A and B are shown apart, each in its own frame.
Chain A
Amino acid sequence: KQEVTQIPAALSVPEGENLVLNCSFTDSAIYNLQWFRQDPGKGLTSLLLIQSSQREQTSGRLNASLDKSSGRSTLYIAASQPGDSATYLCAVMAHYKLSFGAGTTVTVRA
């Protein structure tokens, strides 16, 4: 069974600092990995999707890396802003099933 872990569960940083969010998974036979953002009381917004054959994906201030062999992905958010405050979830696609981590709740202090 695929287990997805996100550490830490919560993170608080001052504005302008770079954010590093970690995701690890137990079954390396994944098809892809997706990072989502969830605002309180809201649904999930897809941020980045990395195919298993890719090493990283970039979108604006966001960069996600994938190391399938070690079962890890990292989401980098450069120059954080208070608007980046949210919960960030990673999800891996394996065996036609999307498995989610519990998320990292980020607070960016102005």
Chain B
Amino acid sequence: NAGVTQTPKFRVLKTGQSMTLLCAQDMNHEYMYWYRQDPGMGLRLIHYSVGEGTTAKGEVPDGYNVSRLKKQNFLLGLESAAPSQTSVYFCASSKSLAGANYEQYFGPGTRLTVT
């Protein structure tokens, strides 16, 4: 049981380039999330998904797109990277939004630098 995994661990992009971050979970969780973490700030929600084929915007969605074609995978795309998107990106999953099963499980993060 690997939990939540993220690919890649590190990446350097030039401004304007595109890339996709992959998140995978093997816990059969319905809910998946993408966050970014910047120095001195808490994690901020970018997008989330409440099930296969569904996605929704979070707090800071601009410049990002997501897809959830399979229940176990949640992809985060940057179509045209900007230096402001330099950050550490975390993926998380949870069984549900309510009750004792709400606990979110986090991946190890992807450190992205845009030059």
Contact = CB atoms under 8 A, between A and B. Distances in A.
A31 B94 CA distance: 15
Q: Is the interface of A mostly helix, strand, loop or mixed?
A: strand
Contact of B42 (A32, A41, A42, A102): A102
Contacts of B45: 97-98
Given A42-B109, A44-B90, A34 B103 contact: yes
Interface centre among A31, A43, A51, A99 (most CB of B within 10 A): A43
Contact of B106 (A44, A51, A93, A103): A44
B102 A42 contact: no
A43 B102 contact: no
Contacts of A97: 45, 58-59
Contacts of B92: 44
Given A97-B45, A100-B43, A34 B109 contact: no
Interface of B: 4, 33, 35, 40-45, 58-59, 90, 92, 97-98, 100, 102-109, 111
Given A34-B103, A44-B43, 16 more contacts: A4-B42, A9-B40, A41-B109, A43-B4, A43-B90, A43-B109, A49-B100, A49-B102, A51-B100, A91-B43, A97-B45, A98-B45, A98-B104, A101-B42, A102-B40, A102-B41
11 contacts: A36-B106, A41-B109, A43-B107, A43-B108, A44-B92, A49-B103, A89-B42, A89-B43, A91-B43, A100-B35, A102-B40
